[in-house]
Structure 1
């Protein structure tokens, strides 16, 4: 049964920057949020598939991570202006079929207060959009940002939180060093 207080969030600790190899989902219906694992709290994050985790909209830690991502956009602009080496991505809410997911977009430009880029993951809530589609996202709608150069990542506040929520050994496999 779908829990209305859960929203799908793309973790994308792996797969952003270089498009992942997941196939496009032909179904036009939102993905079903799985039940909480036995013994887990009802509001616990719930893995859906590789790079996709459902978080409760009431999850204070994830909400704080999104707030930090948005509030530090001036730092992102500094890194862009300095031509910091790496792949630039932003995370934003994408709604289709009445469901919202939070997805990464690889940047190709910025102008008039909008980030221009390509969807860096396969949307899970329908087939209106697909990985690689060009999108324009208003800066006001950006929830997080990253500059990734190998294992070094600037930003990525929602990814940091998602890694905290993972089992320690799995999180360590990503080999990410966060910088500010």
Structure 2
């Protein structure tokens, strides 16, 4: 993890939809209610980070699990969210997207679940469109636990231990 590499990528650790307290800041309610409260931690990860690239590959490889739940969610499954990559002048930013919709042309839309840091003029709650190739992760909640979230796991080591442990406890497969 490094903040001063030529091509850093910004990674929002967790989306507002999970209801998790990150760095002691409670994130509660639907996305549109937390826009002003969004202080989700951002972690710079170099583009070629092997651990993060492996997490992205696992997430992309398991997208059928996400889409199966999205298309026919069980009563205990809520908060379907995708993380998508957006190019920026500083390299790129991966941001959680909530309120996912499949569009007729094969692309997707949703709203930023977190406050973008490197996308001027964009805010949490803004509608955004993206392609399947932009998807870097997925997650949803099942019985109060995070399912998916592969790119969260490598970021846990950069968090304070108590926060990382609390987040691990909220993950279905820590």
* Deviations 1:78-103 (CA, angstroms, capped at 9, x unpaired): 11122232101111111234541110
> Who is 1:100 aligned against?
92
The answer as to 2:117 corresponding to 1:127 is no
Which structure dedicates a bigger proportion of its chain to helix?
2
CA–CA distance in structure 2, aligned partners of residues 127 and 102 of structure 1: 15
> Who is 1:78 aligned against?
68
CA–CA distance in structure 2, aligned partners of residues 10 and 22 of structure 1: 16
Say if 1:108 and 1:7 are closer, same or farther in 2 by CA, change over 3 A.
closer
Q: Give the alignment's Cα RMSD to 1 decimal.
A: 2.6
Say if 1:7 and 1:154 are closer, same or farther in 2 by CA, change over 3 A.
same
Say if 1:50 and 1:80 are closer, same or farther in 2 by CA, change over 3 A.
closer
CA–CA distance in structure 2, aligned partners of residues 162 and 178 of structure 1: 17
Equivalent position SS for 2:60: helix
Q: Pick the aligned partner of 1:68 from 50, 58, 63.
A: 58
* Deviations 1:27-54 (CA, angstroms, capped at 9, x unpaired): xxxxxxxxxxxxxxxxxxxxxx742111
Equivalent position SS for 1:124: coil
Equivalent position SS for 2:116: coil
Structure 2 unaligned regions, length at least 5: 19-29
* Deviations 1:13-37 (CA, angstroms, capped at 9, x unpaired): x52454344569xxxxxxxxxxxxx
Structure 1 unaligned regions, length at least 5: 25-48
TM-score under structure 2 normalisation? 0.76
Paired residues for 1:1-180 under 5 Å: 2-12=4-14, 15-16=16-17, 18-19=30-31, 20-22=34-36, 50-84=40-74, 85-111=77-103, 112-149=105-142, 151-174=144-167, 175-179=169-173
CA–CA distance in structure 1, aligned partners of residues 164 and 128 of structure 2: 30
CA–CA distance in structure 1, aligned partners of residues 89 and 125 of structure 2: 19
Contact 1:8 1:55 in 2 (8 A): yes
Matched positions, count: 155
Which structure is larger by alpha-carbon Rg, 1 or 2?
1
